[in-house]
């Protein structure tokens, strides 16, 4: 079925992957770059990893320079939002006359625009064609074409993994109120350099028994580290073990230290 975004009413209609809509965005269009200002862009954990690489920054510096931290009132989960410039237009820091200056690494929300989705299954228009003139163009494509062209499918697997953490029922039952816990979640999901430092330069690898091949993967690869972070958060927040198992010798050692009995006998 073919969809159009002529009115607000059209925006509420839900499309699935086979449905089609008309859209094209290019430098010749009269609204070019107009959507890259004064906008709230929540960054996906994968976005932060990609952007910091494109900008050759550490994740910690990227978060400090380009993002605001926000916390959900309902669940207490932290998230990060891209800071707009402080000028009158409140432009995105990455936009220039030719378009997006970080196009290959642009955030998920920018890839998805002018569509929106809740769960990646049903899609709707986020704007009308009077605002986004690309929706008046004649190029017709399916939602799935759009997902493929924009690289949205790259997010499916990791987001599916993170959903267990970010949309867990437990979070809606008991809000995360401790700022230290919020900081831990923020570090694991968004600040890969700080999380890697924590894993490799603390007693973490003594505490957990982790296979050598996993350790090698997370040492260098940010996406593997993100999958690992999802496992660790599931364990820390909800007690779900997955592949993380606490080393019994470590527990015994700690017990003896706390009880002041020195080293456990072998």
Question: Is-contact 100 36, C-beta < 8 A?
Answer: yes
Q: For ligand SF4, which is the closer residue by CB, 4 or 75?
A: 4
Stretch that binds ligand SF4, among 93-101, 188-196, 205-213, 218-226 (CB under 6 A): 93-101
- Using CB under 6 A as the binding rule, whether residue 107 contacts ligand SF4 is answered as yes
Q: For ligand SF4, which is the closer residue by CB, 123 or 232?
A: 123
- Using CB under 6 A as the binding rule, whether residue 100 contacts ligand SF4 is answered as yes
- DSSP letter at 85 equals P
Helices within 153-221 (DSSP H only): 156-166, 169-173, 179-190, 192-200, 204-207, 212-220
Which residue sits closest to ligand SF4, CB atoms considered?
Answer: 134
Closest C-alpha to 41, from 107, 123, 117:
107
Stretch that binds ligand SF4, among 95-103, 117-125, 194-202, 233-241 (CB under 6 A): 95-103
**Shortest Å distance, C-beta 154 to ligand SF4:** 16
Q: For ligand SF4, which is the closer residue by CB, 92 or 218?
A: 92
Q: How far apart are CA 254 and CA 266, in angstroms?
A: 14
Q: Is the dihedral of CA 142, 144, 148, 151 positive or negative?
A: positive
Q: Which parts of 32-61 interact with ligand SF4 (CB under 6 A)?
A: 32-36
Among 3, 113, 123, 195, interactor with ligand SF4 by CB under 6 A: 113
Give pairs for 82-90: CB < 8 Å, separation 24+: 82/41, 82/43, 82/107, 84/37, 84/38, 84/39, 89/37, 89/38, 90/37, 90/38
- DSSP letter at 72 equals -
Q: How far apart are CA 52 and CA 223, in angstroms?
A: 13
Per-residue binding string, ligand SF4, 155-194, x by CB under 6 A, is ----------------------------------------
Chain positions contacting ligand SF4, by CB under 6 A = 25, 29, 31-36, 92, 94-95, 100, 102, 106-107, 110, 113-114, 132-134
């Amino acid at each position: 079925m073919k969809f159009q975004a002529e009115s607000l009413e059209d925006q509420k209609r839900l499309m699935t992957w086979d449905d089609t809509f008309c859209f094209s965005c290019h430098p010749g269009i009269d609204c070019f770059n107009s959507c890259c200002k004064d906008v709230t862009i929540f960054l996906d954990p994968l976005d932060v990893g990609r952007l910091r690489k494109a900008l050759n920054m550490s994740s910690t510096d990227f978060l400090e320079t380009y993002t605001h931290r926000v916390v959900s009132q309902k669940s207490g989960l932290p998230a990060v939002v891209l800071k707009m410039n402080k000028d009158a237009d409140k432009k995105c820091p990455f936009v220039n006359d030719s378009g997006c200056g970080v196009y290959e690494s642009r955030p998920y929300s920018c890839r998805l625009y002018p569509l929106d989705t809740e769960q990646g299954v049903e899609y709707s228009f986020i704007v009308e064609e009077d605002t986004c003139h690309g929706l008046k163009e004649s190029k017709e494509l399916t939602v799935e074409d759009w997902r493929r062209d924009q690289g949205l499918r790259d997010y499916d697997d990791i987001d599916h993994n993170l959903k267990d953490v970010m949309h867990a029922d437990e979070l809606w039952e008991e809000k995360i109120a401790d700022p230290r816990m919020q900081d831990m979640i923020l570090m694991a999901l968004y600040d890969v350099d700080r999380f890697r430092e924590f894993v490799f330069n603390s007693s973490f690898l003594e505490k957990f028994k982790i296979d050598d091949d996993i350790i090698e993967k997370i040492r260098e690869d940010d996406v593997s580290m993100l999958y690992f972070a999802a496992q660790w958060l599931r364990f820390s927040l909800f007690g779900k073990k997955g592949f993380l198992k606490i080393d019994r010798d470590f527990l015994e050692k700690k017990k003896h230290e706390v009880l002041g009995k020195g080293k456990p006998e072998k």
